[in-house]
Amino acid sequence: MNATVGSVAVNTFREAVRDRVLYNLVLFALLMMGAAILVGQISIGIEQLVIVNLGLSAISFFGLVMAIFIGVGLVYKEIEKRTLYSLLAKPIHRWQFLVGKYAGLLLTLAVNTAFMTLGLAAAFFYVGGRIARADIPILIAIYFILLEFALVTALALFFSCFSSPMLSTLFTLGIYIAGVFANDIRSIGEFTQNPMLLTITRVVYFLVPNFHNFNAIAAAGHGDAIPFSLVWQNTLYAALYVALLLIAATAVFSRRNLK
């Protein structure tokens, strides 16, 4: 069972690599090099803060673009190109296919993030940064970014099971933006004192994944400590949400007629 999921995951990773998805790393490297040189010239005393903020934001942005744009095609492309036909003719459950595709994209994002982290570290050292205990929040912020990718990929995969890439992109992006502003959405309802709006905003707040809690970029930039409780809470939250999305995706996809 695990070997089956693993085989699908490795093949998904191989597809991403051969389709030159990791070329975005070149762009990231150029951005970091440019920023490091520029920052060294224009900022005095806040070089490391600027580099960390810029680097983490870029890691998050590049990864999210990959998670959404590859994620929405994960299942759709296999159906459209009919590559799924010969695969599902093998002794493989549809849920194994879905989990394998999900794990493959997550592996791609993790490798991509690892390389970008190395790029960020290089730029950090270039502007005079040194490894210190106070830098641990940077690693935690990167871990939260990975959790965010896990959630967004699961959302994209879920929509990919029943809608076109364009609609899936809109849905995933919409939910992501709502999730980033989840706390604000709830506040709007409470602020207006309108019972109906309050109910709607509360439902939205509890339904959409709360991406706000995964953003530790500012704290990492300033070297502020991130409580350990937030680490395991975010981990548990992401794991549960991903599990629910994968179960929902399986429920939709298991009885789907392939055209």
Partner 1 sequence: MSTPAIEIQGLTKDFPVGFWRPKMRRALENLTFQVEEGEVFGFLGPNGAGKTTTIKLLMGLIFPTSGTARVRGRSIDDIEMHREVGYLPEQPYFYDYLTARELLDYYARFANYSTAERRERVGRFLERVGLAAAADVQLRKFSKGMLQRAGIAQAILHDPPVVILDEPMSGLDPVGRREVRDIMLDLKKQGRTVFFSTHILSDAEMLCDRVAVLARGRLQGVGAPREIVTMQSQSMDILFETREGRALPAALAGHATRIGGRSSITVAEDQLYATLEQLRGCEARILSVSPIHPTLEDYFLQLVGAPSGSRGIEEISR
> Could you tell me the smallest distance in angstroms from the CB atom of residue 99 to partner 1?
15
Task: Give the Å distances, CA to CA, from 11 to 146, 150, 188.
Answer: 21, 18, 45
Smaller CB separation from partner 1, 80 or 224: 80
Smaller CB separation from partner 1, 53 or 164: 164
Smaller CB separation from partner 1, 61 or 85: 85
* Interaction site with partner 1 (CB under 8 A): 3-4, 7, 11, 14-15, 18-19, 81-83, 85-93, 255, 257-258
> Could you tell me the smallest distance in angstroms from the CB atom of residue 58 to partner 1?
27
> Could you tell me the smallest distance in angstroms from the CB atom of residue 71 to partner 1?
18
Burial, 235: exposed, middle or buried (Cβ in 10 Å; 0-12, 13-18, 19+)? middle
CA dihedral sign of residues 190, 195, 201, 207: positive
- Looking at beta carbons, which pairs linking 12-17 to residues 24 or more positions away fall under 8 Å? 12/74, 12/100, 12/101, 12/103, 12/104, 12/105, 12/107, 12/108, 13/104, 13/107, 13/108, 13/111, 15/104, 16/70, 16/104, 16/105, 16/108, 17/108
d(CA 109, CA 1): 23
> Could you tell me the smallest distance in angstroms from the CB atom of residue 259 to partner 1?
8
Smaller CB separation from partner 1, 53 or 163: 163
Smaller CB separation from partner 1, 91 or 227: 91
> Could you tell me the smallest distance in angstroms from the CB atom of residue 9 to partner 1?
12
